[in-house]
Chain A
Amino acid sequence: GQQLNQSPQSMFIQEGEDVSMNCTSSSIFNTWLWYKQDPGEGPVLLIALYKAGELTSNGRLTAQFGITRKDSFLNISASIPSDVGIYFCAGHGRSGGGADGLTFGKGTHLIIQP
């Protein structure tokens, strides 16, 4: 089935550094979303993007909906320990029809080194 290519798979960073991750697809989506999942919990919605080229911020998080509608990126500025977790991109409303559910990437595991 359709999958999103999310990279990097994992990131080892120092506290205070900026983080960037991205997601690409072979299909066009109408909505791109970014989630964060902590161990033992469900994914939590961080940002939703609805228009090609849209740039949206949520605190230290910034995400963009690619112009081609086939990609998105997420930036985290000045990382802090509580940013540790797995970040997932997801697409919704695939062009040409398809699932009502979300199509997910495999996740980016963010690890902050002391």
Chain B
Amino acid sequence: ETGVTQTPRHLVMGMTNKKSLKCEQHLGHNAMYWYKQSAKKPLELMFVYNFKEQTENNSVPSRFSPECPNSSHLFLHLHTLQPEDSALYLCASSQDRRRGEQYFGPGTRLTVT
């Protein structure tokens, strides 16, 4: 595997379900990010992790819970989501949080029913 991978690629979940999104980067980077991409809106930053420590939470509702066990892996735990949370969730990584060059995974297309 190379670059940034995300699983699953597609996810359908009910509002009462709990699910997790996984991201793994094979680039030796130290910073990882979650973004949300909704139709007709710019990509929105959700969370930033630098050397496993969360450095930014962009006012994200608590029904989204990130986890970064090491510099290569990032999770987004989901529970009691709303239909408006349906979107493409993108993971990215960079050498560290000071570097602007971020490399994205293919995303997880999430549908909340």
Contact = CB atoms under 8 A, between A and B. Distances in A.
Interface string A1-27: 001100000000000000000000000
Contacts of A93: 98, 100
Contact of B42 (A3, A41, A42, A45): A3
Interface in A6-63: 30-31, 33, 35, 40-45, 48
Contacts of A30: 100
A33 B100 contact: yes
Nearest to B48: A100
B92 to A, nearest CB: 8
A101 B103 contact: no
Given A99-B48, A102-B45, A43 B104 contact: yes
B81 interface: no
Interface of B: 4, 6, 31, 33, 35, 40-43, 45, 48, 50, 55-56, 58, 90, 92, 97-98, 100-107, 109
19 contacts: A3-B42, A4-B42, A31-B100, A33-B100, A35-B104, A42-B6, A45-B103, A48-B100, A88-B42, A93-B100, A99-B45, A99-B58, A100-B48, A101-B35, A101-B56, A101-B58, A102-B102, A103-B42, A104-B42
Q: For A35, A100, A102, which residue has the most chain B Cβ atoms within 10 angstroms?
A: A100
Contacts of A48: 100-101
Nearest to A102: B102
B106 A41 contact: yes
A64 B14 CA distance: 45
A12 B76 CA distance: 38
Given A42-B104, A101-B102, 4 more contacts: A44-B104, A99-B48, A101-B45, A103-B45
A65 B94 CA distance: 21
A40 B106 contact: yes
Q: For B45, B55, B106, which residue has the most chain A Cβ atoms within 10 angstroms?
A: B45
A107 to B, nearest CB: 7
B48 A101 contact: yes
